[in-house]
Amino acid sequence: RNVAQADASLKAGKWQRSKYVGVSLVGKTIAIMGFGKVGSEVARRAKGLGMDVIAHDPYAPVDRARAIGVDLVSFDDAISTADFISLHMPLTPSTTKIFNDETFAKMTKGVRLINVARGGVVDEEALLRALDNGTVAQAALDVFFEEPPPKDSKLVHHENVTVTPHLGASTTEAQEGVALEIAEAVIGALKGELAATAVNAPMVSAEVLPLPRTILLYLQHNAHSASV
Q: Which residues are catalytic?
A: 118, 147, 166
Cα 25 to Cα 50, 82, 84, 121, 135, distances in angstroms = 7, 12, 9, 25, 19
**Residues 133-159 as b or e (16 or more Cβ within 10 Å = b):** eebbbbbbbbbbbeeebeeebebeebe
Q: What gap in Å lies between CA 181 and CA 70, rounded to an integer?
A: 29
Q: 25, 77, 26: which is closest to 55 by C-alpha? A: 77
Which positions ≥6 away from 125 have C-beta within 8 Å? none
Please answer whether residues 86 and 57 qualify as being in contact, where contact means their C-beta atoms are separated by less than 8 angstroms. no
